[in-house]
């Protein structure tokens, strides 16, 4: 597609404020809570920069926190309500009024190319980006409705399968995006840093003493 064309969709990054003990807790004890927060912050910044480079009409940070990261400049900020993740995502997709692409903050290796299928075919009902851990890193709905997400069990190894089944059961034509690895563990972090060695995430991980070994994990 031509990067000079603007696609009439909204891209939403869902994220929480990167505070020690609140983000990437599974990176400890390999990293301290403070180091894990710095690595998470770099992951979020990389994701925001990728989304900022997309030729789309609107960008939104769906945020749990009070201090908005500087990389979100130019994004509208929508604060997350309380409740489980499925309820929060339901709120998000009920709030959006046009074609909406959701992207998580745990795949700093995500590139413009990874979401180009959505930009090339925004008239498709839905696009689904599976994660290697059984979840999903991205979801696009041409006609957003929260009922497609409420009740889906989140943070399980079958979350993605249940969510995809919910979409297909609703009769939606679903396109599949590339499967990506979420950063959950220190092993995941090492692999993702290797996939995107020039990223801010990889630099942040390298900066933490002992975070990486030759095999990519501690």
Per-residue pLDDT tens digits for 98-125: 999 999 999 999 999 999 999 999 999 9
Instruction: Report helix, strand or coil for 209.
Output: coil
User: What average pLDDT does range 2-26 have in this prediction?
Assistant: 89
Instruction: Report helix, strand or coil for 144.
Output: coil
pLDDT at 199: 97
Confidence of residue 209 (pLDDT cuts 50, 70, 90): low
pLDDT at 210: 57
Nearest C-alpha neighbor of 172 from the set 181, 163, 180: 163
Does the pLDDT value for residue 6 go beyond 60? yes
Across the chain, mean pLDDT equals 93
CATH fold, domain 7-207, is Spore Coat Polysaccharide Biosynthesis Protein SpsA; Chain A (3.90.550)
Q: Which two tokens stand for residue 25?
A: 């807790």
pLDDT at 2: 42
Q: Indicate the pTM of the whole model.
A: 0.92
Nearest C-alpha neighbor of 129 from the set 178, 167, 170: 178
Distance, in Å, from the CA atom of 164 to the CA atom of 144, rounded to the nearest integer, reads: 15
Residues 6+ apart with CB under 8 A from 74: 52, 59
Confidence of residue 28 (pLDDT cuts 50, 70, 90): very high
User: What average pLDDT does range 172-186 have in this prediction?
Assistant: 97
pLDDT at 4: 52
User: What average pLDDT does range 91-95 have in this prediction?
Assistant: 98
Distance, in Å, from the CA atom of 82 to the CA atom of 72, rounded to the nearest integer, reads: 22
User: What average pLDDT does range 191-213 have in this prediction?
Assistant: 86
> Do 182 and 137 contact (CB within 8 A), yes or no?
yes
In degrees and rounded to multiples of 5, residue 200 shows phi and psi of -65, -35
Per-residue pLDDT tens digits for 60-70: 999 999 999 99
Does the pLDDT value for residue 216 go beyond 60? no
Instruction: Report helix, strand or coil for 149.
Output: coil
């Amino acid at each position: 597609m031509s990067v000079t064309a603007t696609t009439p969709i909204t891209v939403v990054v869902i994220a929480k404020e990167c505070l020690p003990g609140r983000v990437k807790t599974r990176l400890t004890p390999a990293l301290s809570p403070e180091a894990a927060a710095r690595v998470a912050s770099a992951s979020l910044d990389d994701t925001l920069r990728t989304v900022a480079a997309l030729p789309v009409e609107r960008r939104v940070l769906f945020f749990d926190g009070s201090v908005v990261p500087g990389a979100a400049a130019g994004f509208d900020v929508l604060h997350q309500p309380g409740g489980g993740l499925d309820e929060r995502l339901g709120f998000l997709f009920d709030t959006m009024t046009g074609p909406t692409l959701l992207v998580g903050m745990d795949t700093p290796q995500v590139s413009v190319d990874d979401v180009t299928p959505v930009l090339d075919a925004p008239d498709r009902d839905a696009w689904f980006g599976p994660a290697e851990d059984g979840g999903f890193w991205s979801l696009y709905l041409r006609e957003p409705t929260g009922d497609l997400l409420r009740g889906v069990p989140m943070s399980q190894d079958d979350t993605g399968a249940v969510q995809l089944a919910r979409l297909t059961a609703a009769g939606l034509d679903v396109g599949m995006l590339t499967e990506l690895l979420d950063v959950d563990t220190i092993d995941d972090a090492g692999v993702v840093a290797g996939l995107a060695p020039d990223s801010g995430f990889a630099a942040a991980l390298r900066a933490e003493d002992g975070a990486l070994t030759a095999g990519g994990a501690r």
